Structure 1
Amino acid sequence: MKTKNILGKKEGDNLISRRGFLELAGISTVMAGGTLAGCAPQQSSELADTSAGSSVSQSPSSPSFLVAPDPIDEAEIAEVIETEVLVIGAGITGISAARSAAESGAKVVVVEKGESYGVRSSKYGAINSSIHKQLGQPELQKAEVVNALQRQMNYRADSQLLNYWADHSGEDFDWWCEPVEFAVLENNTDQPPADAKLWLKPTHWPHDASYDWRSESAPCVIGELAFCPDGHLPVCEANAKVAQDLGAEFIFSTFARQLLKDEDRVTGAIVQAQDGTYSQINASKGVILCCGDLSGDSEMRDYYLPWAADYQTRFTNVDCNGDPTNTGDGHKMGMWVGAVMEDGPLAPMTHNVGVPPAVGVDPFLLLNLDGERFVNEDVSGQDIENALSRQKGHTAFQIIDSQWTEQLEAMPCGMANMTGVVPDDQYTGGGEKTSVKSFEENATFKADTIEELIEMMGLPVETAKASIERYNELARQGVDTDFGKKSTRLFALEKGPYYAFQFNQALILVVMGGLVVDHNNCQALDSERNPIPGLYVAGNTMGGRFLVDYPTVVQGISHSSCMTFGRLAGASAAKA
């Protein structure tokens, strides 16, 4: 295993002041830099004139991240490393790109500012893989899935990119799983073999025969697979080892600061070790930006998503200094050499999951703090959050009576939906089944009468009573003429005890959106939609995948598309 740490000065020392693009136009070599808006290491080369780019403005009010840093003096470069493909970032995307490039015969170097691989979570939303076939899941039609995704995103995503994902995600997932051994559970309530260290569990499988994702107000296809018990780190490590065995070198605790550019071509990057020492990495075939998203940079987030300014972020990966890694490094470095941000609106992943240990976002009655019903509850957690953002206090209560255990069977197979009950001693959490004990323990309020429950919630009594009476009337009629919820999920509240679960504002897990790329090879495009030689972008740094809202049609699509486009970018760069 070839792993190397570049040593040097402490990050933050010897910061160089920034200057505008107009002052810097006209010099032969271009550099672009990364992690923190003020830390800008690079050689004496000049910054590209990106004044034509739609994402870069040079007005006095421009945000600081749109202004490229000064080049780093050549005298500060302690080491020069030669490679063919440089991958910046070692999450799912970077590992996939590194393995793919190495398998294509390229010499590969990967730099990662964390102390290890930047991965978290467990779930993949590929379609039509061999594992899906093994489970007996029906084959999904590409056009149906892609159009359902686009409908949720108002057709603002790149359909050609989504088509590529739909065509390749299944075989790419098979490829991704090759290096590691794991058990495959046949359904989401099975227990793994006693000797299994890693297993793959299907989400919402098997499901009630009446569920047809195509007929849902918030369609969600069946096909998500989750690595258990502790996520997919072992899978990522196994894929990284394949790359390393083929000669790829992973360099951790190292920050990419600026891209190098010779005339029109990106030729490498300047990187900085934790102690501040700079090294130059020359990449004769190309650089792949796999740097993650931008939600950890408050200036970028407020600039691109002003409507989400009051959301807090939740991100667990940190760099070698303990700071979040999701700071838009790749977006900045790319723009500084002429790549452009997509038009947007960018999609924050702000899924509301309700109270997952109870019944999640199952479509029971929701009342806001004014005691009013405000939405068709039979939508995705992302849609619930969007509706909740318009409510007082960003708060609502999910109200349920004692007949809930029978009612779960009618619930949809979507994100954060519960569709059944398991015995308390079999409940493990984190799935699509709850237990009576978990439900009871996680209720915000419980009361014998509706009036008592309303008082506990602190809602206006008469308004809340009228809303519940109206909902019961609709349920008995079997037609929701107010908001259009499916009749099979309209349940009158008429048998105590009664329960309330409080929904609050969700967190931003990641911001989807990034640099415009060519759908054929993940090559970065300039403002004229021409490819930038030597520069590739994949994962959460790339644009075109998800806009407006992160779609819940395919649960886990973010991870699978990171894997798929990382593989594509790696192979493309290796063949350049």
Structure 2
Amino acid sequence: MDSKSKFDCIVVGSGHAGSCAALSAVQHGCKRVVVLEKAPQEWGAPNGFFTAGAMRTVHAGLDDVLPIVSNVTPEVASTIDMDPYTPTDFSGDIQRLSENRSDEALVSALVSESREVVEWLARDVHVPFILSFNRQAYAVEGRQKFWGGMVLSVIDGGKGLIAAHQARLKEAGVETWYSSRVTELLVKEGEIVGVHVEREGKTIALHSSSVILACGGFEASQELRAKYLGEEWRRARVRGTPYDTGDGLSLATAVGAALRGDFSTTGCHSTCWDADAPLDRGDRILSNQFTKSGYPLGIMVNIHGARFVDEGADFRNYTYAKFGRAILNQPGGVAFQIYDARVTPFLRVEEYGDDVVKKKVYASSLHELAQKLSSEGLERPERFVKTVEQYNIGVVGSEQRSNATSQSWNPAVKDGLSTSGISPPKSNWALPIDSPPFLAVKVACGITFTFGGLAIDHETSAVLREDNSPINGLYCAGELVGGLFYGNYPGGSGLTAGAVFGRKAGRSAAERAHSHANKD
């Protein structure tokens, strides 16, 4: 065997989870590690690159997270309100949103190691964490009030996260091969012994005692989306890399791996996405800025002028991963977000700025807004006006308040200020839409990642067969892990899970490499 083709560990996929796996493998003793990335180097930006870099973790409150962030002075810290986020909170959120379908062992592993893995990323990978003021806090009466459990992000979001990984991989001596598509897992006597990879027009064999699959889900494949999620998912807009086309599923099932998780019509993370965004890939410059997450501050209507979700059902980071699906199921697969002048100052500039949204529609009256939206696809302008008027009546007539406009309004807490007499209701943050100028933004469904994936062992990240026995030498991390999320998920959990199970996979690969070295 050519020594150049022999590695202690092979990682398939160069994203956040794959990088965590590779770095963990080196940290635990692997001498030669290679990361194989199907995309060319100019597109070697996996899904983590297109995220906001948010990570959900257990913490004991502000004093617990201050040591790992860089954007909080003592003066700023004195203005922050932040509740602790306990293991019970984290696991409860996952199970609540999945309707108790999530694998308990996987959830427990994720939650129990979330704080440790964030500290590992900060200390050993040099990920530049910050408090996520812009996404997870509102300035209310002079104080920064954090909400929804998630508090951490990364400088420059997903771009900063992947940049930190790439710098650390280079320092650690990990090789990264771009334009290198793995076509087959090599098996000998029931164990994984390497891969076949297409590179520079040739198929070559690389050998290792361990292969870690971290090459994403199937969200970028129209065919697999249609097969598993339903035909309507063909028209979803891909938020990230166009190279996540289900390779990991086909590679692993070919050697006997079991599928797990949500492969139903609810089986993906999707969100409200700019209707003018590209259909088949994310934008490497704007990346996550195409997200349109301001809907709890206003309402959403379809092209027939009707509301279709409870925009205030919960904090945004507990609803956005399913509301993309709700938009997809509307006529034409699009909708309009409607705001008035009272709430537009709360909309995040990075999502709603003039340099991000190609066409924001303003009007001085609801009738004028309806007419302008007609040229954007609104088919029933008269119903649109009636919908907003009935919503306003539902707000003012709510039993929770006698005068909606004079109540103190705090978007950082679930205030219970709801509508009455209309369906669907708006359960929190319901203010009348009556202060011009009015703003409308057209949105569609953006698919982020798929929930169905491979069965893994929660302690080792080993890929399992249908009988739950491990496929020796094969591990899995990242979006390819199945059984963790169903139907919905708490925002920021995906990147944390990628790190937790990626680190486990790297450690397992190193232990296996050490064992094989002793045998030799």
- TM-score for the superposition, normalised by structure 2: 0.75
Q: Distance in 2 between matches of 1:183 and 1:336?
A: 39
Alpha-carbon distance in 1 for matches of 2:236, 2:424: 32
Partner SS for 2:181: strand
Cα distance in 2 between the residues matched to 1:500 and 1:206: 22
What is residue 124 of structure 1 aligned with on the other side? 54
Is 2:477 the partner of 1:548?
no
Alignment-derived partner of residue 4 in structure 1: none
Equivalent residue, structure 2, for 1:114? 39
- Aligned partner of 1:298: which letter? Q
Q: Counterpart amino acid of 1:123?
A: G
Cα distance per residue 1:470-501 (max 9 Å; x no partner): 21211112352324756662222334333333
Aligned counterparts of 1:182 and 1:387: Cα–Cα separation in 2: 34
| Amino acid of the structure 2 residue aligned with 1:453 | L
- The within-5 A match list for 1:313-332 is 313-314=237-238, 317=241, 324-332=242-250
Greater shift, 307-316 or 170-179, is seen at 307-316
Within 5 Å, give how 1:136-285 maps onto structure 2: 137-179=82-124, 188=133, 203-205=135-137, 208=140, 220-228=148-156, 230-244=159-173, 248-276=174-202, 278-284=203-209
Q: Secondary structure at the match of 1:157?
A: coil
2:273–2:446 CA contact under 8 A, matched in 1: no
Equivalent-residue separation in structure 2 for 1:86 and 1:205 (angstroms): 40
What letter is aligned with 1:378?
G
Distance change >3 Å, CA 147–CA 529, structure 1 → 2: same
| Counterpart residue number, 2:465 | 526
359, 366, 388: which is aligned to 2:327?
A: 388
* Partner of residue 415, structure 2: none
* Contact 1:447-1:497 at 8 Å conserved across structures: yes
- Contact 1:87–1:108 under 8 Å retained in 2: no
Q: Which runs of 5+ in 1 are unaligned?
A: 1-76, 190-202, 214-219, 318-323, 409-417, 420-428
Quick one: distance in 1 between partners of 2:7 and 2:100?
39
Correspondence for 1:197: none
Name the CA shift for 1:306/1:79 in 2 (closer, same or farther; >3 Å). farther
Q: Distance in 2 between matches of 1:490 and 1:483?
A: 13
Matches of residues 350-361 of structure 1 in structure 2 within 5 Å?
Answer: 350-353=270-273, 360-361=294-295
Coordinate RMSD, CA, aligned: 3.3
**3-state SS in 1 of match to 2:183:** strand
Say if 2:8 and 2:208, in contact at 8 Å, map to a contact too: yes
Q: Are the aligned partners of 2:58 and 2:86 in contact in 1 as well (CA < 8 Å)? A: no
- Residue 445 of structure 1 is matched in structure 2 by 361
Secondary structure of 1:524's counterpart equals strand
Corresponding residue to 1:560 among 485, 496, 500: 496
Superimposed CA distance per residue, residues 88-113 of structure 1 (whole angstroms, 9 cap, x where no aligned partner): 22222222111111111123332233
Describe the shift of the 1:280–1:446 C-alpha distance in structure 2 as closer, same or farther (beyond 3 A). closer
Q: Report the Cα offset of residue 515 of structure 1.
A: 0.8
TM-score by length of 1: 0.68
Partner residue of 1:464? Answer: 384
Counterpart check, 1:92 vs 2:16: yes
Q: Quick check: 1:287 aligned with 2:211? A: yes
Q: Are residues 1:341 and 2:259 paired?
A: yes
- On the 8 A contact 1:255/1:274 being kept in 2, the answer is no
Partner of residue 101, structure 1: 25
Matched, 1:367 2:301: yes
Aligned counterpart for 2:430 among listed residues 490, 508, 511? 490
Tell me the CA shift for residue 235 of structure 1: 0.8
Alpha carbons 1:353, 1:360 under 8 Å: kept:
no
CA distance in 1, matches of 2:231, 2:102: 20
Task: For residue 336 of structure 1, report the CA deviation from its aligned partner.
Answer: 0.5
For 2:116, the aligned partner's letter is: E
Does the 8 Å contact 1:87/1:98 carry over to 2?
A: yes
Rate the CA distance shift 1:146–1:488 in 2: closer, same or farther, 3 A.
Answer: closer
| 1:569 positional shift | 0.5
**Pairwise mapping of residues 465-480 of structure 1 onto structure 2 (< 5 A)?**
465-479=385-399, 480=419
Deviations 1:503-544 (A, max 9, x none): 3x2122332321111111111111111111111111122212
Partner secondary structure for residue 338 of structure 2: strand
Residue 402 of structure 1 corresponds to which residue in structure 2?
A: 341
Letter of the 1:474 partner, please give it.
G
User: Where does the alignment leave 5 or more consecutive residues of structure 2 unmatched?
Assistant: 276-288, 314-318, 400-418, 513-520
Measured against aligned partners, the alpha-carbon deviations of 1:286-331 in whole angstroms (never above 9, x if no partner) come to: 22111222223333332222254332442654xxxxxx42122221
Amino acid at match of 1:114: A
Q: What amino acid sits opposite 1:87 in the alignment?
A: V
Residue 456 of structure 1, CA deviation: 2.5
Q: Against the structure 1 CA distance between its residues 467 and 279, is the aligned structure 2 distance closer, same or farther, given a 3 Å change threshold?
A: closer
Distance 1:168 1:491, change over 3 A: same
1:248-282 Cα distance to aligned partner (Å, 9 max, x none): 44333322221111222112222221221x33222
Q: Say which structure is richer in helix.
A: 2
Query: 2:293–2:320: 8 Å Cα contact kept in structure 1?
Result: no
How far apart, CA to CA, are the structure 2 residues paired with 1:187 and 1:516?
A: 33
Give the whole-Å Cα distance in 1 for the aligned partners of 2:249 and 2:329: 31
- SS of residue paired to 2:56: coil
Per the alignment, do residues 456 and 206 of structure 1 end up closer, same or farther by CA in structure 2, a change over 3 Å counting?
A: closer
What is the rounded CA distance, in whole Å, between the counterparts of 1:478 and 1:447 in structure 2?
27
Structure 1 window deviating more from structure 2 (124-133 vs 338-347): it is 124-133
- Quote the offset at 1:242 in angstroms: 4.4
In structure 2, distance between residues paired with 1:187 and 1:95: 23
For the 8 Å contact 2:192–2:472, the answer to whether it is kept is yes
Residue-pair matches, total:
443
- Matched with 2:279 is none
